[in-house]
Amino acid sequence: MSTQDDLILVAGGGGFIGGHLVARLLTLGHRNIRVVDIKPIGEWYQVFPQADNRVLDLKSLANCRTAVAGVARVYNLAADMGGMGFIETHKAECMLSVLINTHLLMAAREAGIERFFYASSACVYNADKQTDADVTALKESDAYPAMPEDGYGWEKLFSERMCRHYREDYGVATRIARYHNVYGPNGTWAGGREKAPAAMCRKVIEAKLSGKHEIEIWGDGEQTRSFMYIDDCLTGSMAIMASNIVEPLNLGSSELVSINRLVDMVEAIAGVKLKRRYNLDAPKGVRGRNSDNTLIREKLLWEPSIRLEAGMEKTYSWIWDQMTAQPAGLRRAS
């Protein structure tokens, strides 16, 4: 039985979700936390001196063995990934993350860890079921027959299967959540890896600060998505980790929104109205995607519920602070 004294590994803890997870665990009284990321600590989104912070490349089996030594539970959030602009142009890099999960599972089995959480993605879902902006929400069984997002989605689906077979063959207690577009403060908002909510906030702020009231939107803006605020992501991830649910579970908001509506929302928060330029040649991803939360409601009696407007207000405010905290010539993604 796990306790607050158990050593918890957060792999990818220097990233957006990982940093927030470490903060949540500390808030809940966990004091024995090892945080591992490939990035130099100065590039982590959040750093907590009270944690055991290590810079390790977890594509290496030897480093995974070092990372899991003495650990009771593993949260694997480590992956080379970003928004659609990144994953469509870095397919091989994204697929190399398969080494992280494979080697972590191997090391976890050797170490006899209690629980292993894997952060999967809605990119595992069959593309044929995501061709209409007026979507039918994706249920967990829609991952098969398999035709996931090329590169990144294939890696996530393969790693889900590795978790399943390590559970079935070796008794490693794996848990899997399929994240749907997580957003919030303390994450990537520029540089090419940012996702739509942060990108829209940055673009609107740039337009407001420059006085050039126009914005470029990738695609025609009618593509649809759901976006989950980070607090809901953390609550769901920890609940899935603690549960007896062995099959992958959707973890996402069921609040569907078009990209045009997302821009409307950010404009309202910013108090501006912008001319829209649509770049039909830019990466767009699938036409429509939403989370069917029937199974998570049934299994956990809970689902993500933070409204998009509320989460976007907090995200916009944080990105505004990042972009206005330094002289214009020195602004950069932190």
What amino acid positions are annotated as catalytic residues?
Answer: 152
Query: Which amino acid is present at 290?
Result: N
Q: Are 31 and 4 in contact (CB under 8 A)?
A: yes
Strands 228-229 and 182-183: parallel
Strands 256-258 and 224-226: antiparallel
Query: Which amino acid is present at 142?
Result: D
Q: From CA 110, how far away is CA 260, in angstroms rounded?
A: 49
Residue reference for tokens 């214009």: 328
Long-range CB contact pairs, 307-310, < 8 A, 24+: 307/255, 308/227, 308/229, 308/253, 308/255, 308/257, 308/262, 308/265, 309/265, 310/229
Q: From CA 73, how far away is CA 175, in angstroms rounded?
A: 11
Helical ranges in the chain per DSSP H? 16-27, 61-68, 84-87, 91-95, 98-111, 152-170, 196-210, 230-242, 259-270, 294-300, 308-324
Tokens of 105: 């599972």
Q: Are 114 and 72 in contact (CB under 8 A)?
A: yes
Interacting residues of 156 by C-beta distance below 8 A, sequence separation 6+: 120, 121, 123, 124, 148
CA–CA distances in Å: residue 37 to residues 22, 56, 94: 12, 6, 16
Q: From CA 139, how far away is CA 123, in angstroms rounded?
A: 13
The kind and range of the H/E element at 275 are strand 275-279
